[in-house]
Structure 1
Amino acid sequence: MTTTTVGALRETVPGERRVALVPELVPAVGRLGATVLIEPGAGALAGHHDADYRAAGAAVAGRAELLNHADVLLGLHPPSVDPARELRPGQVLAAMLRPHRIPYLVRQWADRGVTAIGLDLAPDLPAAYPLDAEASQSRVAGYRAVLLAATRLDRCLPPWGAADGLFDPVRVLVVGAGHAGLQAIDTARRLGAQVSVVELRHRERGAVTVLGTGLLDLPGLHPVADDRELWEILDQEHPAWVAGLAGAAACHDVVVTTLGLPDRIPPVLLHRAAVARMRPGSVLVDLAVGPEGGNIEGVLPETMTLVGDGVTVIGAGELAAQVPATASRAYAHNVLALLGRLLRGGAPAADPVLGPMLVTDRGTVRHEPTRRLLLEATAVAGLP
C-alpha cells in the first residue's frame, strides 16, 4: 500500500500568520496512514517552530521538495505557485479557496488535473461541520471584531462606573447570526454590553434565542425560511430593511455586520448617510467585507475610516489571522477531518460531504458559480 504524503505550505499572503497544520495534530495525521512534510518557517508566526514539527514526527522540506513529493497540499489560501510547472496531475490542493475570486487560476488547476478542495465550501450537513473552516475561522473573527471595536470606542466596555448608575451601558448591535455573529454576540455579552440582534432567518433566530439575547425586529419585515429568501430582501434593498436598520444603528454604540455568502458579493446594508447619523464616537465593524465591498457602503478590507462627526468604520479583513494560535489550531482540526474522509479511499465526488467542496476534479471545474463566471468570460470574448 502506497503511503500518502501530506505537505503544509508556508503562507505568503501579507499579514497572514496562521498555519494549516499544528504540531500537536501531526501524530493524528500519521495514524491515518500519511507522512507529513512542513515548509520551513510555516508555523513560526503562530508560535510553532520547525523543531516542534520534527519532534511531532513531521519532516521539514523546502518548497520545491514539498511540492514535488506531497500528494495533498495544505494551506489557508490558494498557494502562489505556477500550476503548469509546480503542480502535477492527481495532486490534491486543500485550502480556503474562495474560487469565485480566482476563476482563471481555478481553470489552470483543472487543466493541470489538480483536485482542488475548498475548506470554505463545506455543505450544510451535520457530517460536514468538522471540515467547515469557514465556520471555525468566522468564530475567531467574530470574537476579534468585538475586541477591535472596544479598542476604538470612546467609552469603556463594560462602562466604567456602571455599577453606580452614573453611566449608560454600551449598546451593541449585531447584524446576522451566523457563526461570526453568534461569537460576536457571546463575546459582547461577556464584556458587559447590552446586545441586540437583527436576524430574519428562522434557524439563526433560534440560535440567538438559545444565547438569551434579544432579537430586534424591523417594522414591516417578517422572519424568512433561509438564505435565499433573505437575499431576495437584501438584493431589492427593501425600504423597510433600509429604514429599519438605519434607525436601529443610530441607537447603538457598536455595530458588527456579518452578512455574506462565499459565492456572492456582500450586500450593502448600511449607507454612508445612515452611518453619519450615528453618535460621534460610535464604531462599526464590517466582517463581511471583501475585495468587492462589504455590508457598509464604501468599506474596503483592512481599512479604518471616519464618517460624519467621528463615527469609525472598520473593514475587518482577515481578523482570524490576528489570533494565529487559536485560529491555526481550529483550522488544523478542520484539515484533520478532511484528511480522515479523503484518505479512506473512494472518489471524492461521490462523497456527500467532499463532493460539494470540490472546486476542480478530473480535469473539470466543478464549482458551479466559478464555472458560470468562466463561461460568461468566454462568451464575452467570443470564444467557442
Structure 2
Amino acid sequence: MAITAVGVLRETVPGERRVALVPDLVPAVRRLGVTVLAEPGAGLLAGHHDDDYQAAGAVLAGRDEVLRRADVLLGIRPPSTDPVRELRPGQVLAALLRPQRIPFLVRQWADRGVTAIGLDLAPDLPAGYPLDAGASQARVAGYRAVLLAAERLDRCLPPWGTTDGLFDPLRVLVVGAGHAGLQAIDTACRLGAPVGAVEPRHRERAAAAALGADLLCLSGVHQAVDDRELWQSLDRDRAAWVAGLAEASVRYDLVVTALTGPDGTPPVLLRTATVARLRPGSVLVDLVAGPEGGNVEGVLPDTTTLVGDGITVIGAGELAAQVPGTASRAYSHNVLALLERLLRGGPGTEDPVLAPMLVTDRGAVRHEPTSRLLMEATAVAGLP
C-alpha cells in the first residue's frame, strides 16, 4: 500500500488525554518513508508539546490540512469528522473504533470508501500481538484500577502493622484474567496483597497462577479451553456464576471485574444485593463498565457510587486515559506495527492479522457483528 503521509489527530472527546503517536516514535515512522502530520495540540494532554513533534521531524498542520493530506489518519477514538465532506475514498482511518457502538457512522465510512481499521480488533495470534492496542490499553487500565481502588479503601493495601504485629491484610479478588485482569493481579501482588482470581480458561488460569494469584473454583462453573467456551459458560451457567461470586466476593476487600461477552456486552455477575453484603469500606471496580452495562448490576461508566454500608462501586470507563503518558506510548508502538504491516502489503481480506481488524473496506462493512446490527436496523425500519 502506498502511504506518503500519516496524520495525528487531536482528540476531541471530553476526558480523553491520550495521543495516537508520541514524538519519540515519529523518527521510526519517518524511516518508513512517511511524512508525519501532527495537528497542533494533539499531544498536549499526554505531556507532549508541539515543539517536541517538530524536533522529532513531524510537520505541524491544521486539522483541515491533516484530513486532506494524510493517507492514514491516526486517532484514539473515532474522529468527529463529516465522512462526506472531510474524508476521501481510499483514506485509511485507524483508532479504537468499537464499531458496534457506532454502526451508522461505520455505514457512512463504508459508503464514502474509507478503510477503517480497529486497533481494538487484532486477532489472538502471535503476529497480531504487536498491533493489539485493545490489549495494551487494557493492561494500563488494569494497573490503574488497583491504584484507583487503593485510594478509596479505608485501610492500606500492602501489609501494615505495629511492633505488636501485622494487621489483617486486605484481600483482592479479580474476576477475569484477560489482559486487564492479569495486570490488576500483578499490580495487587506487587503491592503485597493476597489475590484471588476467578478464571475458567486454561491459559489465563496458568498466567494468573504464575503471577501469584490463588485460583478459585465456583460451584457449577466448569473450566474452559478458550474464549468461545468461556462465553458459552457465561450464557449457560449464568446462575452458577452469580451464586458463586455472591459467596466468594464477600470474603474480599477489593473486587475487580473484567469479563465481557463475544459481542462486547458484559454479563451481569454481581447483583446489587451481593455488593451491599461486602465489608463496609470495600471497593469494587468494574473494568468493563460502558454504555452496554457492566459486570455489576446498575453500574455506570466513569461514575463512582456508594452502595449499602459505605461500599464504593467504580464504573471504570476509559481508565487508560488517566495514565496518558504510558498509554500513549504503548498505543504508538501498536500504530507503528500497523503502519509497517500496511506498507508491506496493505489491508486485505487475505491477511490473517489485518482481515479481522477491517471494519470497512472497498465500500463494504467488513465487521460482521456491526453488519448484522445494520441489517437488523434496516429490517426494523422496513427498508429494502
**TM-score after normalising by structure 1:** 0.97
**Is 2:363 the partner of 1:329?**
no
How far residue 142 of structure 1 moved from its aligned partner, in angstroms, is: 0.3
Q: Pairwise mapping of residues 136-215 of structure 1 onto structure 2 (< 5 A)? A: 136-161=136-161, 164-215=164-215
Partner of 1:132: 132
The CA distance in 1 between the partners of 2:187 and 2:163, in whole Å, is 20
2:256 maps to which residue?
256
Equivalent-residue separation in structure 1 for 2:343 and 2:366 (angstroms): 21
| Equivalent residue letter for 2:343 | L
Matches within 5 A, 1:351-370: 351-370=351-370
Instruction: Measure the CA separation in 2 of the matches of 1:156 and 1:346.
Output: 51
Write the distance in 1 (CA, Å) between the matches of 2:140 and 2:163.
Answer: 30
Is 1:73–2:65 an aligned residue pair?
A: no
1:103 aligns with 2:86: no
| Pairwise CA distance, 1:325 | 0.5
- The question of whether the paired residues in 2 share the 8 Å contact of 1:98 and 1:262 is answered with no
Task: Tell me which residue corresponds to 1:10.
Answer: 10
Find out whether 1:86 has 2:65 as its counterpart: no
* Distance (whole Å) between structure 2 residues aligned to residue 2 and residue 346 of structure 1: 8
**Which residue of the partner structure matches residue 46 of structure 1?**
46
Contact 2:160/2:169 (<8 A) preserved: no
Is the contact between residue 67 and residue 73 of structure 2 (CA under 8 Å) also seen in structure 1? yes
Give the corresponding residue for 1:320: 320
Which ranges in structure 2 are unaligned for 5 or more consecutive residues? none
What's the CA shift for 1:157? 1.1
- Kindly state the Cα deviation for residue 237 of structure 1 after the two structures are TM-superposed: 5.2
C-alpha distance in 1, partners of 2:263/2:318? 17
Aligned to 2:32: 32
Paired residues of 1:286 and 1:315 also in contact (CA < 8 A): yes
Letter in 2 for 1:14: P
Cα offset for 1:230? 1.7
The whole-number CA distance in structure 1 between the counterparts of 2:369 and 2:130 is 24
Alignment match, 2:383: 383
Q: How big is the shift at 1:73?
A: 0.1
Question: Structure 1 residues 231, 281: closer, same or farther in 2, change over 3 A?
Answer: same
- Residue 309 of structure 1 corresponds to 309
Shift of 1:243: 1.2
Aligned mates of 1:162, 1:38 — CA distance in 2: 54
Give me the TM-score of the superposition, normalised by structure 2. 0.97
Quote the Cα distance in structure 2 between the aligned partners of 1:162 and 1:4.
Answer: 64
- Kindly provide the CA deviation profile for residues 223-266 of structure 1, in whole angstroms up to 9, marking residues without a partner as x: 11122222222224533221111111100000000102573211
Q: May I ask how many residue pairs the two structures share in their alignment?
A: 384
Which amino acid letter does the alignment assign opposite residue 103 of structure 1? P
140-149 or 234-243, larger mean C-alpha shift: 234-243
Q: How far does the alpha carbon of each residue in 1:101-130 deviate from its partner, in whole angstroms, 9 at most, with x for none?
A: 000000000000000000000001000000
Cα shift readout 1:195-229 (whole Å, capped 9, x = no counterpart)? 00000111111111222321011123221112222
Percent identity over the alignment? 78
Output the CA distance in 1 between the equivalents of 2:79 and 2:162: 49
Query: Which residues in structure 2 correspond to 1:107-122 (within 5 Å)?
Result: 107-122=107-122
Counterpart of 2:270, as a letter, is L
Cα contact 1:342–1:348 (8 A) shared by 2? no
Q: Which amino acid aligns with 1:380?
A: V
**Secondary structure at the residue paired with 1:116?**
strand
How many Å separate the matches in 2 of 1:162 and 1:137? Answer: 39
CA distance in 2, matches of 1:157, 1:212: 16
Corresponding position of 1:227: 227
Kept after mapping to 2: 8 A contact 1:120/1:262: no
RMSD (Å) for aligned C-alpha atoms:
1.4
Residue deviations 1:308-346, cap 9 Å, x none? 111110000100001000000000000000000001234
Distance 1:2 1:136 in 2: 27
Matched residue SS, 1:348:
coil
Change (3 A) 1:78 1:261: farther
Q: Secondary structure of 2:37's partner?
A: strand
1:36-65, Cα deviation, whole Å (9 max, x unpaired): 000000000111111110011100000001
| Contact map agreement 2:347 2:354 (CA 8 A) in 1 | no
- Secondary structure (helix, strand or coil) at the match of 1:298 reads coil
CA contact (8 A) 1:140 1:323 kept: yes
For residue 3 of structure 1, report the CA deviation from its aligned partner: 5.5
Q: Over residues 337-378 of structure 1, what are the superposed CA-to-partner deviations in whole Å (9 max), with x where a residue is unaligned? A: 000000123443221111110000000000000000000000
Distance between the aligned counterparts of 1:164 and 1:287, measured in 2? 38
Distance 1:139 1:9 in 2: 24
* Correspondence for 2:295: 295
Say if 2:195 and 2:212, in contact at 8 Å, map to a contact too: no
